[in-house]
Amino acid sequence: MDTLETRELKYFTAVAEELHFGRAAERLGMAQPPLSRAIQQLERRLGVCLLERNRRGVSLTGAGEVLLHEGRAALDATTAAARRTRRAGGTDGPGGLRNRLVLAVKAAASHELLQKLLDAYAAEPDAAEIEVLPSGMCGQEEMLRDGRADVALMYTPYNSLAGFDSEELLTEGQIAILPAGHPLAAHKTLSLADVSDIPGLPLARWPRNGTYPPGPGPEIHDQTQLAQLIALGRTMAIFPDSARARLWAEHTAVPLTDARPIGTHIVWPPHSRSLALAGLIRTAVQL
């Protein structure tokens, strides 16, 4: 048996994520007994044990871990196929827009490059409609995988490009963004060591994959919050050099001499056959 049904993957993924048949059944909107029977039938068809069941609860076997990982990817792929098909047919946009691409970008990032790209592409014959979809921290990857976006601007080393096709558009250094009145703001350059442990000015923390990395700095949810906290002298941040374009008067940017360069990439699913997407990529690499 080398095929799986989408329904089976949805059932198994719900149980594997909840590790509780009752909660999984509630999440799926079904009764628990048929869900349990469906998982047992799936195990018999695959010839492997996916879940360990005992008095303490439910846990995944090694085979179950594999199916959870692969199943999530397969469900994302089917969702993406439906979303991109509707988009290609113009059934998901206002007024039934056809030939539309969704470009995912990190909110407030790469503004100058993005504007150049949009202007240059709009001048192309038969250019598609571009919808810019801002994302949170590292959200572009998920948007590409589940079909909410057709293409994205992503940043190494912060984003993973694994599983996608990409072209690098820009490489730039990094800067420390400090309150304008802070003593370090008067320096011409700084090192990572200089800004790693500034008394009273901890490095801001961003969410990644639903959790915050360890550290003393305030938890940041958006660019406006970060900008205000830096202006108030409560935190500092490290950003690509292009972030200078959105600094407040209360901020100062100081180059970091030893920070790893940031690469800006245009990224897309490798199986895409969209002529509109090919045109956008061609325009991007010619900027």
135 or 194, which is more confident?
Answer: 194
- What kind and span of H or E run contains 267? strand 262-268
Give the mean model confidence (pLDDT) for residues 188-214.
82
pLDDT: is 184 or 96 the higher one? Answer: 184
Report residue 29 CA to chain centroid gap.
29
Q: What is the pLDDT of residue 22?
A: 92
Residue 213, pLDDT above cutoff 60: no
- Determine contact, residues 261/168, Cβ cutoff 8 Å: no
Question: Which of the 8 DSSP states describes residue 268?
Answer: E
Long-range contacts of 180-188 (CB under 8 A, 24+ apart): 180/249, 180/250, 180/251, 180/252, 181/233, 182/233, 182/236, 182/252, 184/254, 185/252, 185/254, 187/254, 188/254, 188/255
37 has pLDDT over 70: yes
* C-alpha to C-alpha distance for 169 and 114, rounded to whole angstroms: 11
pLDDT at 88 (0 to 100): 73
Return the structure tokens found at 2. 């080398």
Q: Sorting pLDDT into bands at 50, 70 and 90, what band is 104?
A: very high
pLDDT of residue 155 exceeding 70, the answer is yes
Q: Which pLDDT belongs to residue 65?
A: 94
- State residue 23's pLDDT score: 93
Q: Write the single-letter amino acid at 102.
A: V
Give pLDDT, residue 183: 96
* Spatial CB neighbours of 150, under 8 Å, sequence gap ≥ 6: 84, 87, 101, 102, 103, 144, 268, 269, 272, 274, 277
Residue 272 phi, psi dihedral angles, 5° rounding: -65, 140
Of the pLDDT bands very low, low, confident and very high (cuts 50, 70, 90), residue 95 is low
DSSP character at residue 246: G
